[in-house]
Amino acid sequence: MEYRRLGASGLMVPALSFGAGTFGGRGPLFGAWGTTDAREARRLVDICLDAGITMFDTADVYSGGASEEVLGEAIKGRRDQVLVSTKTSLPTGDGPGDAGSSRSRLITACEEALRRLGTDHIDLFQLHAFDAGTPVEEVLATLDTLVRAGKVRYVGVSNFSGWQVMKSLAAAERNGHPRYAAHQVYYSLLGRDYEWKLMPLALDQGLGAIVWSPLGWGRLTGRIRRGAPLPPDSRLHRTADYGPPVTEEHLYGVVDALDEIAAETGRAVPQIALNWLLRRPTVSSVIIGARDERQLRQNLGAVGWSLTPEQMARLDAASHRPAPYPYFPYERQEGFARLNPPLFAAPDRAA
């Protein structure tokens, strides 16, 4: 397993990390993802550690906290071997204090996560969404308190826009609070919006991308083909509306390119999709999930080899979507691109 720095921080993380969204299995969304109990979870953690995957990602909103509880049971007795990443800020109830990033909510959420996880510290504590109602100074001062207390080691965000990240980073620098080390983002061959605003920001500010749903919400598992019906046991029957949107034309164009490269390399479609992501700028870790040992072992096959530059270029072409304004001039016209090379040149250099 390759290990990478998390952005500009000193924390080393594995190129692949494990997402515990399948642990617990409560509710219409997370129940469809998976219903892994503590015994099964411990087996999956065993496999991860044997392969060098040492970071495990969860959130308080996953199965109403059951994911954190199951993960805590699965890592019991080997806490010093793993990195625990969890998130808060999304609603966990109907009360006025059950959502957001206020001082009260963050302190309570951290304490409850520590209890469910059965640990005395969280390695990476992330805000799951931006809270427009709480001043960023209050948010950062509270995170600073948690870090100084030893309850949190590093802080990050998830699903923030560019201006929200920059406003927070500026306030952190101004007031001497911990800077965000990570941005957990949606990024896949089916969804490359991250590249327009957030990737250049991450390059400039030293944010490490932790990628969620790298297989496009389960659409790049190799089971979806042009002209074929959705497999009857696919979770997309119940969860498609929760995830990132994608047109059928775009989906099948990407799948066709993946199938061609799968035939050339002897690799599985999800392994190719994951390998492509691992070569993109700013990516520190790609979160893989698995409902069972077979899925996990297949996803582990994404490391230890590399796509050729020509194969990367074909996947780039198949997955490309026109840039929105104000970015399309930088993509199409040489004069614009030369003025701001990180914006569009960086992804191309990685290929």
Residues known to be catalytic: 62
**Of how many residues is the chain composed?**
351
Whole-number Å distance between alpha carbons of 209 and 226: 31
Q: How would you class 284 by CB atoms within 10 Å of its CB: exposed for 0-12, middle for 13-18, buried for 19 or more?
A: buried
Treating both helix axes as pointing N-terminal to C-terminal, what angle do 103-117 and 136-148 enclose, rounded to 10 degrees?
A: 40
Treating both helix axes as pointing N-terminal to C-terminal, what angle do 341-350 and 309-319 enclose, rounded to 10 degrees?
A: 130
- Buried residues in 25-56 as b, exposed as e (16+ CB within 10 A): beeebbbbbbbbeeebbbebbeebbebebbbb
Q: Where are the alpha helices (DSSP H) in the chain?
A: 28-33, 38-51, 66-74, 103-117, 136-148, 162-175, 198-205, 236-239, 248-265, 269-278, 293-300, 309-319, 328-332, 334-339, 341-350
- Buried residues in 118-144 as b, exposed as e (16+ CB within 10 A): ebebbbbbbbbbbbeebebeebbbbbb
